[in-house]
Every structure is written in C-alpha cells, then in structure tokens.
Structure 1
C-alpha cells in the first residue's frame, strides 16, 4: 500500500505500487470520516429541508402554484411553478450531490477526464448538451413563450430568403421579389407565425425535463432491484427477475394512451409512466455487473466484519457498479427524448407545451415552401440524440476499469 506523506506528494510503497493503482489508500481522507457527519451530508440535509419547506408551501398554501417574475429589458416574464418543475428541481439537486465525490477527488477526476477527452466527438457533444441544458432552463425565463401571429407566418430564417408570396406579410426587407429573414425571427416562423427560436428553447426545456427526470426515476428503481437481486440471490433474485420480465413486456405506449384518454396526456403523467416502466433492461445490466462484484474480496471482508446486507450493497456494490449505472443512464436519456418527440408528433402528448416533435409535425405539410419549419426542430432533435449517444459511448470507455489504461 501507499501512504500520502505530509508534504502532499504520492509516495509509492515498497511493492512499487502507483497512486493510480487500486491498492492506493488516502489515509487522510479515511481519518476525516470518523469525526461525525460530513460537510456534504450536512449540506444535503439542509438543501433537502429547504426544498421540502418550499414544496410544502406550494402544496398547502399556494395551491395554485407560486409564480416568479424576471424582468428583462423592462418586460416581466412570469414563471408559474408546476409539479414537473418541482420534479426537475429535485432531479438537479440529486445530480449535483452525486457529483460531489468526483469533484472532491481531483486526482480521480483528472484521470477520467484524460480518458474521456480522447473522444473528440464526445467532448463536442458534452459542450453542446451543456448549452442545450442552460438555454433550456435559463432561456425559458427570459424568452417569451411562442404565440400565434398569423401576420408573421412563414418568415424565413435570418440570412436566407424565400419567394415574397410565401409569407403572409414579409417582416424583413424584400429584395428582387424575395423576402429576406430578419433577426426578429432568427430561425424563422411557423405557419401560425410562432417564433421557431422560442419553440426551440421551450422544446429544449421539455426534452431535458423528460430525459433527466424519467431517467433518474428509472435508474433509482433499476439500481435497487439489480443490486438487491444480485446480492441476495435465491428466491429473491428469481422473483425480482420475473418482475423485470413482466415490466419489459408491459405496453408503455398503450398505457399512456389509456391514461391520456381518461385524464388527458399531461407531461407529469408522461414522465412518471416513462420512469416507472423503463427500468427493466437497466436492472438486468446492473445485476450482471453486481454479480461479479459480490464475489470480490472486499465484499467478503465486509461480511466477515459483520456488515449488514444493506450496508454492503450501499457502500461497496453500488459504488463499484456506478460506471455501468452512469453509462446506462446516459444512453437511456436519448431514448426518452425521442419517445416524447414521437408521441408529440402523432398528437398524443401535451399539446399545451411546445415540443420539438409537435413543431416537426406542424411543418411536415410545408416542406416544399417553408422547409425550415420542420427542419429546425428536426436538427435540434437529431443533434441532441446523437450527442447523448456519443457521450454515453465515451463515458463507458472512460469509466470501465477493464479498458486499457493510460499509455
């Protein structure tokens, strides 16, 4: 083993081990764990308490949902907090605290980053997805929701032009009988005069909400089922895997259609259905990985020391299958984004919310004259799904310890 000396340098042990080896132990970090609750746990408890108080105020007192106003250029933009917004906030908080261990271990973070940045498409995808996330979450607070404006229908994107007879009334300049795009509508407008930039921004928020919230629900259930089945074995493993078989054959699409017919196809219902019915395949992957970890020496040592099964699963098995969990989550998000777009395309999603699939469907009959109506949201949808797939493949290579180590 190795020990970090007082100077902060990594001192290899007598056996020639390196700080990147599994045998390396940061004794200072271990010593700090014995002094009561960690700062991270205290911060998580405080934030969770504030979140619970705010949610209780919304449910018990505000009832109609609190509203917040953001003033930009003298215009007030009102944000009405919904149930989906509360779920989204809880998801972001959970993701933030899950990244704390990686942020605290800078050496490990640098190691993973070196492996990840080898994949140039994945690095570009990461920056693109961060931009989509920020624009979709912050941009909706300052961008006006898309509204009907028939007079501004079929405006072309900026720097492009279309025959002046196509728009109802050209907002930009008309040159040689062609209507040119203007920065007032940088991505053009739909047949109803809705700003495609606003539709794209609100579509980003919807896609991030569906993808992140439903994936967190599915990953939580899948991790609990997969690790419990692998560690317990016997009839518990058999029962849980048969439940997975039933779940994987469950017709999620028809369930949503049935609920949409009875209660309306709201976004909250869509997210919950996706979350509680999409964990079967992920649970199998986690179980397969956890079966290998169950036989490792550190698990046997924990058992011999008298650790409970719950403790072993939480502190030893789950952290050591985290690479499979992260990869599965990253590859599950694009499936959910595409599923939501498909439902919106056929008109069974929440028609009150701007969606990329809904906008693509609205412009499919105008491809000959106003091709940008379907093309712009289609490009965003395609790029987002491709970016998540690139990111998932790169994370799998970077986090998998069986991959080739740094040269």
Structure 2
C-alpha cells in the first residue's frame, strides 16, 4: 500500500484527470476516527460476542449440571430423530471463542476476491497440501460436529478385541465374536468398522473423539500463543529501547523454563485436565512466534510507508494496527500452522504416558491402551497412530504451502 496513489474516495486507479490524494495528504485523525466506527463486520462481531456471552451465562447460571444442549434433530439417513447432547466444558467454550475469532479474522480475505484467488492459485500448486487441507477439514468437522451425534465409547466386555472390517483374527482372541466366524477366524463387522479395544470400546468412536481433543488443543493453544506473540513482538519492535530489551529477555527466560514440570505441578494440584494443558501450551508456547513477529516488525518499521505515516501524524497504535500487523500476518499464519502439529503431538505424548485427561478419549491414550496387545490386536494402537501421523503430516504440508503462498519472496 505504501506510495500507491488513491482517489479521494479511497479507490485505486481511475482516469488520469481524476484528482488523486498523496500519502502525505492523508488526514490520519479522520482515518483513526473512522476506524473507531463499527463496520458491518464489527457489528456482526459485537452481536456474536453478545450471543456468546449470553450462552455462556446460560450454561453457568441456568443449565448448571445439566447438558447445555439436549435436543432431537432430524437426520436424513436415520429413520428416527437423533438426540444431540452437548455438555459444554470450559475447553468447549474456549474452542467456540477461538472459532468465532478465527472466523471474523478471515472475513477481510474472504471479501477480497482478487487476493483470495491469488493465494489459492499459489497454494494449489502443492498437491499434498491440498489433499491435507481436505483431510483436515474432514477431521475438523468430524471432531466438532460428529461428536454431537455419537456417544462417548463405554466399556463393553462382550465386544472386546473385535478386528476391523477388513481383517480377521483367531476366534479365540475376542471374548465373543460379533462378526462372522469362518474357518476358526473371527472377521470384522460394520458394527465396529475399525475394531474394538480390550475394553470393547469402538475404535471409530475413539478416533472421532480423539479428533476433537486434537483440534481443541491445537487451535485453542495456538490462538492464545498468536495473540500474545503478536502483542509482544510488535510492541518490542515498534517501541524499541529498554522495552524491546526487557520483553526479549523475558522470552529468553520463558523458553528455557521446563514447561513439562509446570504441567506436572498443576496436574498434581488440579488433575491432568485438558483445560490446564491447553492453557499451559497457550501461555508458554508463544516465545518462538514472538521472535518471528519482532524480526518481521523491525523490518516493517523501517519501511518508507511507516516513516511517512509517522511523519504525517499517525498515532503509534494506528501504525501498528494498520501497517505493521497486517504486513507481518503472513509470517504469523505460517508459524502458527507449523506450531499446531507440535501441540497435537505433545498432547498425544502426555496422554500416552498417562498425564492427559483420562476422562476424554485421545489418540495418545488409545495408542497406549493397545501397546501391550500388538501381537494379537495390532489395530488398537495402529488406527489412532495412523490418524495422528496423517494429521501431523497434513499440517506440515499445509504450513509449507502457506509459507510459499503467502510470502512474496517465494515468487519465482
């Protein structure tokens, strides 16, 4: 945007004889005042925030110990209405807030058809990333919407060690074969398409609930980290001096602090809840992103358009909000996308060693449940392990493709 001629009405281009406004003629007081007025998107965000606050108040004050949502919903492929039960937890409310904030953050890009088309053309050059994007969308929808329509897996000793639909095992392994028995071998059934665990829990349901846990951990913690990192990084870069020095030294201290022991301490006090895990990941994992933001913001601070805005009377907040943050957002998005798989893998590792939330099925927890049965029931650990591997790989592909699509320096 720096140095571009714009018409007096704010549009670009036009006939040569139309009056143009130069950058130094911009009335920054008027722009700042206009920025304080609520646009249609701002009004929608305020309305969504009010609705969110009312729903949260209802859950806390009215629903109490009852489910937040308990309703019958008509589903086309079912003869009877499905019962949707949602007993919202603190993590669910954080997840809802994250989705709302993320949705409104994408509105400017969604409304700009030219920029959206440009980024998409660059992104779709990476076929693995496109496939990974569709896979992650499926994981996201199954984890957020699908879990509303299915019950959390429960103990069923009559259906232990059932093989997947595409496999078979010796009939002596399951307590009672649910599928057909042919030549002394128990074959899988569509009732448990991915098989069951040693406790009779269906692996398909466990995998879907594991999707929800992984998406919540990755998206909520990353959103918290982005917010803190952007604030710290831009403040350090633009303020400079002792402010920059103090913030960066704090980042140094934080990155050397053993987060694992902090989680152990809080898990001892409050239990290994998912909420504690998400908050710890979010408030301690932003140091690396803050350094990236600061590095990019330092370069933007020296650009001519920032110097011109400062000389024309724009406030520091206006410069950071209108020029610095938008121009470092590409690096923020890329760093955040590559941070999500690390968080997903970290949650799975903690659940694998028994430090996760035992009340919620996660992929790491299911992998641990089947590690002693690899010789006879290999699918228990393999199925969630494949989902975990594919999710991390998809996020890595997505992050690499976004880096190439969003960074103009990658242009060839």
Conserved in 1, the CA contact under 8 Å of 2:330 and 2:406? yes
| Aligned mates of 1:217, 1:3 — CA distance in 2 | 36
Runs of 4+ deviating beyond 6 Å: 8-14
Conserved in 2, the CA contact under 8 Å of 1:222 and 1:283? yes
Bigger shift: 155-164 or 52-61? 52-61
**Unaligned stretches of 5+ residues in structure 1:** 15-29
RMSD: 2.2
Q: 1:57 deviation in Å? A: 2.6
Q: 1:62 deviation in Å? A: 3.4
Q: Paired residue for 2:23?
A: none
Q: 1:297 deviation in Å? A: 1.1
Match of 1:138 among 145, 163, 166: 145
**Unaligned stretches of 5+ residues in structure 2:** 18-30
Find out whether 1:118 has 2:119 as its counterpart.
Answer: no
Matches within 5 A, 1:159-170: 159-170=166-177
Conserved in 1, the CA contact under 8 Å of 2:6 and 2:12? no
Q: 1:227 deviation in Å? A: 0.6
Query: TM-score w.r.t. structure 1 length?
Result: 0.91
Q: 1:91 deviation in Å? A: 0.2
Q: Paired residue for 1:281?
A: 288
Q: Go from structure 1 to structure 2 and tell me whether the alpha carbon gap of 1:81 and 1:380 turns closer, same or farther (over 3 Å shift).
A: same
Q: Paired residue for 1:22?
A: none
Q: Paired residue for 2:362?
A: 355
Find out whether 1:229 has 2:236 as its counterpart.
Answer: yes
Q: Go from structure 1 to structure 2 and tell me whether the alpha carbon gap of 1:153 and 1:10 turns closer, same or farther (over 3 Å shift).
A: farther
Match of 2:385 among 370, 378, 396: 378
Q: 1:61 deviation in Å? A: 3.7
Conserved in 1, the CA contact under 8 Å of 2:59 and 2:68? no
Conserved in 2, the CA contact under 8 Å of 1:3 and 1:12? no
Find out whether 1:54 has 2:61 as its counterpart.
Answer: no
Match of 2:165 among 158, 165, 174: 158
| Aligned mates of 1:288, 1:351 — CA distance in 2 | 40
Matches within 5 A, 1:32-43: 36-43=37-44
Number of matched residues? 386
Secondary structure at 1:258's aligned position in 2?
Answer: helix
Bigger shift: 36-45 or 81-90? 36-45
Bigger shift: 158-167 or 381-390? 158-167
Q: 1:9 deviation in Å? A: 11
Q: Paired residue for 1:25?
A: none
Q: 1:77 deviation in Å? A: 4.0
